[in-house]
């Protein structure tokens, strides 16, 4: 397996070199909106640890990521009146991974509404900002 690249886009976001629509952060995890959401509120949850994917992250860091994803999922159900949540996580190119920093997709779903295709449409910045504000408020309670 290739090694972790510290110049991947998520590493740059973690270092503050690129902006994001942050919804949650603690000492081990950052969660922010996907700029090409498959549904409103589509959030990426990633460890601050430099892990390429699930194959090389420590068990403790992985546990923290899934706990944060659950927190985001519960808040997304409230904030977006979701009927369900889809959680996706891909490993290596053959597994569908595109950005090689471990991340979970937390996607709020409405019954009968299909998700948009991956990376199909960039959302407007004002919409993302409003969604981030709404979701962050639901997370903080």
Alpha-carbon distance of 57 to 29, in angstroms, equals: 13
**Closest of 46, 43, 40, 33 to residue 115, by C-alpha:** 40
42 included as an active-site residue: no
> Which of 51, 54, 49 lies closest to 96 in space, CA to CA?
54
DSSP at 34: -
Tokens encoding 121: 């449409």
Catalytic residue among 42, 64, 103, 105: 103
**Residue positions annotated with a catalytic role:** 103
């Amino acid at each position: 397996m290739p090694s972790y690249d510290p110049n991947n886009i998520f590493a740059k976001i973690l270092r503050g070199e690129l902006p994001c629509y942050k919804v949650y952060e603690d000492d081990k995890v950052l969660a922010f909106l996907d700029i090409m959401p498959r549904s409103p509120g589509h959030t990426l949850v990633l460890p601050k640890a430099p892990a390429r994917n699930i194959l090389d992250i420590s068990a403790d860091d992985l546990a923290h990521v899934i706990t944060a994803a659950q927190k985001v999922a519960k808040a997304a159900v409230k904030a977006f009146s979701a009927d369900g949540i889809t959680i996706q996580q891909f490993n290596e190119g053959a597994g569908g991974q595109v950005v090689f920093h471990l991340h979970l997709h937390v996607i709020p779903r409405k019954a009968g509404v299909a998700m948009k295709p991956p990376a199909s449409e960039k959302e407007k910045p004002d919409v993302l900002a409003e969604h981030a504000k709404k979701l962050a408020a639901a997370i903080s309670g």
